[in-house]
Amino acid sequence: MLTLPRILFVRHGETDWNVEGRLQGQTDIPLNALGRYQSEDVARRLTKLLGDPANSRWIVSPLGRTRETAEIARRTLGLEPTAYETEDRLKEITFGIWEGHTWAELRGKFPTAEAERDKNKWDYVPPQGESYEMLVERLRPWLETVKQEVVIVSHGGVARALMAMIAEVPPHEAPRHDIHQGRVLVFENNRFKWY
């Protein structure tokens, strides 16, 4: 088990694909109006959690929806919007050829895929995609570099992987956790709590 500083995790705000139930993965989809509001709201939550926001280190997935979330939140906090680091390893889990589809559409093209994935979401690899276990292997070397409190702006799949890595959530349970938009997921002392 890694000994880590406090990590304040923010999932990107809502996109139209979230509303439609489309698998986004690493496809670059912008925030919608609610997603922009959620980004402002998450800044208000961070205000209560950060000592001095000006001293906070931010590391952000390079995808557009996470960058937009971070920039809106930072602007709301009175910080330079683009003064954050990006990290490729914080990109969302990729769904390969499934990206852009809803589950209903996928059931038409791949009738057994959803049921097969539901049997073991942690280890299931979509065609040309990535499993949660593969995501953990991508994240582990980066996580080992985190030595000070940090604000992370990333994705739902990454949050679930971190739940297993940091808070010892069993791998078969982690993929089933809801990851909220507009809230802060705090990892501290090998536990997590929503704010």
> Does pLDDT of 5 surpass 80?
yes
Q: Which domain holds residue 46?
A: 7-145+167-194
Query: Which candidate in 12, 14, 99, 155 is catalytic?
Result: 12
What pLDDT does residue 66 have?
Answer: 98
> Does pLDDT of 1 surpass 80?
no
What pLDDT does residue 126 have?
Answer: 96
- Split into its structural domains, the chain has a count of 1
Residue 62 within a domain: yes
Is residue 150 within 8 A of residue 5, CB to CB? The reply is yes
Query: Which candidate in 68, 71, 92, 130 is catalytic?
Result: 92
Residue 182 within a domain: yes
Residue 152 within a domain: no
Residue identified by tokens 């959620």 is 38
CATH number at residue 26: 3.40.50.1240
Residue 150 within a domain: no
Concerning whether 12 is annotated as a catalytic residue, the answer is yes
Concerning whether 155 is annotated as a catalytic residue, the answer is no
Q: For residue 63, which amino acid is it?
A: L
Residue 105 within a domain: yes
* Range from 1-10, 116-125, 172-181 carrying the lowest mean pLDDT: 1-10
The mean pLDDT value for 74-99 works out to 98
Residue 72 within a domain: yes
